Amino acid sequence: MIWSNFIFLSFSLLWLGVYARGDAVDYKPTSNLVDDLLYSIAKATDCVSCHGLLISLKATAHLGDDKFVNALISICKTLKIQDQDVCEGIFLGPGPIIAHDLRSIPATGETSNRFCNAMMGVCKQPPVKNYTVPFPKPELSSLVVKRTRPSRRPPFQVTHFSDIHIDRDYAINSEANCTKPLCCRAFEDQTDPITIPAGPMGNHRCDSPTRLAESLFQAIDATNSAFAIFTGDIVPGAVWLVNETEVEKDFATFLSLTGSSKIPIYPALGNHEVAPVNSYPRNTSTGYEDEAQWVYDMASEGWMKWIGSPAANQVVHHSGSYSLLVPETKLRIISLNTGFWYKVNFWLYDSTESQPDPNGLLSFMVSQLQEAEDAGERVWIMGHMPMGGGDVFHDQSNYYDQVIQRYRRTIVGQFFGHTHADEFQLAYSNYSYQTKDTATSMSWIAPALTPRSGNPAFKVYDVDPDTYEVMDMKVYSSDLSESGYQENPTWTLLYSARDLYGPLIPGGLDTSSAFTPGFWHQVTEVFEKNDTAYRVYDLYKRRNGGQCSAYEECKERTICGVRAARSENNCALLQRGFGFGRTVMGEKGTVADRGYAYEQEQCESVTISDVLVGMVEGVGEMVFGMVSDLFSKLVGE
C-alpha cells in the first residue's frame, strides 16, 4: 500500500502541472491560483474532481509510459516526498500499468469511479451488480453431515502463520530510524551516524530478519502440529526495490528456511508475491495476460513437495489456486489467490466490461466444493486477503459470499492473513438480521510475523478429528520489549481463545462444543456491553501495537467489521488516499486533522508507517514554498 500513497499525492500534483501547461484550461497560472488549486485538491472528496484529474492523467498517459512515469518521478523528487531512490523505484513498476488503465477506460463512468475509490478514496464503490453465481446442484435441505457434533477423540493441531515478510537484506546495526518507508538495511545514501541500531531479531520499523523467521519455524515444529497453513506474503515491504528477481530470491529463501520442517505446509499466494506488488493481470488483459505466469510456475514447483502434483498443476492453470485432500483425512483445503478481488491490483481497471469472476476463480472454488459435498468431505477455504475488508471489491466479495452460503454445511472454516492483525470475521445468512442463529461461517485471520506492525505472532488450532471444526485457538507471541529477545526470542502462549472467551457467553461454552459462528456472534455481543472484554480483544488484535484514541467510534466500527465477512456490510471509512486518511490543508499549508485519521486507519488494522505520516506532514509544510518553482519549470517546457 506504500506506493499507492505516493502515486495519489503525485497524481494530485501532476494535475497541477498539466493544468499549468494549459492542457486542461487556457489560463496562465498565478501564485493565487496555485494556492487555490492546492486547497481544492486537499478538499477534493467527490467524484467530479477525481474525474477531472483523470482527464489530465489520460492526456499524460497517451504521451507514453516513459513520459508518464518520469513525470511522477520528477514530481516526487522535486517535492522531496521521499528519498531519490524511493521516488524512482516506487513508480517504475506500477506506473506503466496505471498508464495502460488510463488509456483503456474513459475518465467518467463506473470503472473510473472504482479507480478513484481505490486510488483517491473520493468515490464510493458502486452498488453491487446483480449476479447470481451458477451452482451445478441446488442445496439439498436433507444434506446431512457425517458428524454434527465434535467427537470425544483428542483434537489434532494445525499451525496458521502469515505475512512473514522476510528481509534478506536486513543488516544488523544498520539504521532502524531511517528516512525510508522500511529501515534496517545498509542503504548507500544513509551516511549519518546510526541513532538506533537494528538488533539481530528485528525492530518495529523493519521487516523480519532471516534469523527471526528461523526462530518462527523452530517454534512451529515444537507445536507438534499435523500440518501448517501459510496465508501469504513472503516478500518484504521495500516495494520500490522489488522486481521479479528479488521475488524469486525471497521465495527461494522461504523454501530453504522451511526445508527441514517436520510437517507439510499448505500455502496461499499473497499480494507481495508478484512484481510489481499486487499486480495479477486478468486473462482478458490482451497482451499482458501472462505477466504473472512466472509466479504461478514458481509456486507450483516450490510447493509441490507439500501439495503434490495434481494440486501443483492446478496452481499453474488456475492463477495460483489449488485444492487438495489432506492425507488420511476427510478434510479438503481450497487455497485461493485473492489478488483478483483486491482493489489496488491495478490490472483490474483496464476494461469497462463487467467481469464478475476474473480468471474463473469462483468457478474453480465452486467445482471443488461440489466435489467435496458429493464425497462427504469437510472444507477449509484459505487465501491471503479476508473478504470483509475495505480493500475488497464489493462485487466479488458478494459473489464469494453466495458461494459460502450455498456450501455452508460443507465449509467448516476460512483462514486468511493480510491485515497483520489477530482478528476474525463472520458471515451471515441475513446481514440485515445478525444473530447467533443467522451466523453461518467464521473467518480466522492470523497475525503477522513481521515486527513492523506489532509483536511477532502465530496461531495454533485444536481441530476435531471427525468434524474438522476448531475446538480452540491459541496464539503464541514473542515480545520485542523483553530482555533477551534480540539474542533468542521466546515464543510463549499469549492466550487460549476457549479460556479467554468461552466463559463470557451466557452459560459458558461447553467443553465438548466447537467454536461455531453462533458462538463468535455471542462474543461480539459481549464486546458491545463489556468494555474490559473488548479492550482485551483490541489489544491482542493489534499485537500490543498501540490503541485507538477515538474509543467509542473505534469500538463500534471494529465490531461492525467483525460482523462483515461481506465487504459491502463493513463500516470501513471512505478516506482520501489509501493510507492518508482525510488530509486537510490548514493555515500556512500545514496538515490539519491528520492524527485523527491516522488513528482511525489503525483501528481498521491498516498499517501506516511513521514514515508515511511524516511524508504527508512534510509535504503540507513545504508544498506552498516549492510548488511555484515546479510550476515555473512545467510552464517553461
Segment 361-381 mean pLDDT: 98
The grid cell for 213 is: 523467521
The grid cell for 420 is: 497483520
Q: What's the CA gap between 139 and 559, in Å, rounded?
A: 31
Cis, peptide link before residue 451, omega less than 30° from 0:
no
Q: What's the CA gap between 73 and 7, in Å, rounded?
A: 9
Check: CB of residue 584 under 8 Å from CB of residue 591.
yes
Q: What's the CA gap between 275 and 348, in Å, rounded?
A: 15
**Do the annotations mark residue 163 as ligand-binding?**
yes
Grid cell 482511525 in the structure block, residue: 600
Domain ranges of the chain: 2-124+574-636, 156-170+207-569
| Best CA proximity match to 419, nearest among 381, 390, 460 | 390
Q: What is the pLDDT of residue 68?
A: 86
Grid cell 496464539 in the structure block, residue: 475
Confidence of residue 120 (pLDDT cuts 50, 70, 90): confident
- Maximum distance among all alpha carbons in the chain? 80
Q: What's the CA gap between 215 and 480, in Å, rounded?
A: 13
Q: What is the DSSP string of 223-259?
A: TT-SEEEE-S--S-S-GGG--HHHHHHHHHHHHHHTT
Grid cell 495476460 in the structure block, residue: 289
In the predicted structure, residue 79 carries a pLDDT above the cut 90:
no
Q: What's the CA gap between 307 and 322, in Å, rounded?
A: 9
| Best CA proximity match to 33, nearest among 636, 633, 624 | 624
Weakest-pLDDT range from 26-35, 155-164, 315-324:
26-35
Weakest-pLDDT range from 161-165, 422-426, 544-548, 588-592:
588-592
Q: What is the pLDDT of residue 43?
A: 45
Q: What is the pLDDT of residue 149?
A: 61
Q: What is the pLDDT of residue 225?
A: 98
Weakest-pLDDT range from 91-105, 536-550, 558-572:
536-550
* Angle, in degrees to the nearest 10, between helices 65-78 and 610-636: 110
Check: CB of residue 624 under 8 Å from CB of residue 38.
yes
Q: What's the CA gap between 543 and 561, in Å, rounded?
A: 18
Percent of the chain at pLDDT above 70? 81
Confidence of residue 91 (pLDDT cuts 50, 70, 90): confident
Confidence of residue 147 (pLDDT cuts 50, 70, 90): very low
Check: CB of residue 167 under 8 Å from CB of residue 209.
yes
**Do the annotations mark residue 233 as ligand-binding?**
yes
DSSP secondary-structure letter at 446? P
Among 97-101, 549-553, 619-623, name the most confident range: 97-101
In the predicted structure, residue 585 carries a pLDDT above the cut 80:
no
Check: CB of residue 184 under 8 Å from CB of residue 470.
no
Length of the chain: 637
Q: Which residue has the higher pLDDT, 388 or 262?
A: 388
* Angle, in degrees to the nearest 10, between helices 517-529 and 531-541: 120
Classify 24 in phi/psi space as left (phi over 0), alpha (psi -120 to 50) or beta: alpha
Q: What's the CA gap between 298 and 314, in Å, rounded?
A: 13
Q: What's the CA gap between 174 and 281, in Å, rounded?
A: 37
Predicted structure pTM score: 0.88
457-477 pLDDT, tens digit per residue, is 999 999 999 999 999 999 999
Q: What is the pLDDT of residue 70?
A: 85
Averaged pLDDT score across all residues of the chain: 84
Q: Which residue has the higher pLDDT, 581 or 299?
A: 299
Confidence of residue 27 (pLDDT cuts 50, 70, 90): very low
In the predicted structure, residue 94 carries a pLDDT above the cut 70:
yes
- Chain centre distance of CA 121: 16
Q: What is the pLDDT of residue 7?
A: 55
| Best CA proximity match to 35, nearest among 584, 635, 588, 592 | 588
At residue 256, what are phi and psi to the nearest 5 degrees?
-65, -45
**Do the annotations mark residue 418 as ligand-binding?**
yes
Weakest-pLDDT range from 149-158, 161-170, 499-508, 606-615:
606-615
Grid cell 506506493 in the structure block, residue: 3
Q: What is the DSSP string of 94-123?
A: HHHHHHHHHHHS-SSSHHHHHHHHHHTS-S
The CATH class given to the 156-170+207-569 domain equals alpha beta
Check: CB of residue 330 under 8 Å from CB of residue 377.
yes
Q: What is the pLDDT of residue 590?
A: 27
183-222 pLDDT, tens digit per residue, is 999 999 988 999 999 999 999 999 999 999 999 999 999 9
* Interstrand relation of 457-463 and 470-477 (parallel, antiparallel or unpaired): antiparallel
In the predicted structure, residue 610 carries a pLDDT above the cut 90:
no
311-338 pLDDT, tens digit per residue, is 999 999 999 999 999 999 999 999 999 9
Q: What is the pLDDT of residue 587?
A: 30
Cis, peptide link before residue 150, omega less than 30° from 0:
no
242-275 pLDDT, tens digit per residue, is 999 999 999 999 999 999 888 999 999 999 999 9
Q: What is the pLDDT of residue 546?
A: 63
